Amino acid sequence: MKNKKNIAILASGNGSNFEAIVNKIKDGTLAVGKCILITDKKNALARKRAQKLQIKDIFIDPSQYKNRQTYDQKIIEVLEKEKIDAVVLAGYKRILSPFFVKRFENKILNIHPSLLPRFPGKNAIARAFNYGCKVAGITVHFVDEGVDQGPVIAQEVVPIKKNMSLKELEAEIHEKEHWLYPHILKFFLEDRIKIEGKHVKIA
């Protein structure tokens, strides 16, 4: 494939989706020129995963910046220096500034553990479970200036079975995430995803 894209994965915590993506890069499923990890938490487990996987890991401390935009400007400086083409959010807990979103318009992907537009924001799995929903799920979407409001690329349903615990539901959702996110990222890297307003088509 010509012109392989360089990607930056932004993570704040465990990094299991980060590792799932990197494994698909290493086995040749995803054609990526360069992959780096950027974290906003010094002790994020994702950083240990990056070390194990031999992926460049960059920690940028939010406490050193006066507001969200100046922090995001620093990240953009790093992305430009590393010649990054696309940004992949994988458990990144900070809301991106409009400045950042505009700079990488239609080039930022996120995965959310609910069937958006239901249960945006934090604790989505627990909220669906406690509400008594019969199904939960996951959504891969483009990031816009809203919180979990960008155009939906793909969704997968996860049934909430009788007598299922919240922990079991979380495990099933994470397993689906680790399959769906690299799968959709492959289409994106191959320029097979087209946006028409709020509608997304995969060629």
- Give the Å distances, CA to CA, from 180 to 14, 17, 84, 97: 18, 10, 22, 26
CA distance 35 to 202: 23
Give burial (CB, 10 Å; 0-12/13-18/19+) of 14: middle
Give burial (CB, 10 Å; 0-12/13-18/19+) of 116: buried
Q: What are the residue numbers of the active site?
A: 112
74 SS3 class? helix
| Contact predicate 13/41, CB 8 Å | yes
Reading phi first (left if > 0) and then psi (alpha if -120 to 50, else beta), residue 137 is in left
| Contact predicate 98/119, CB 8 Å | no
The residue behind tokens 């990222």 is: 185
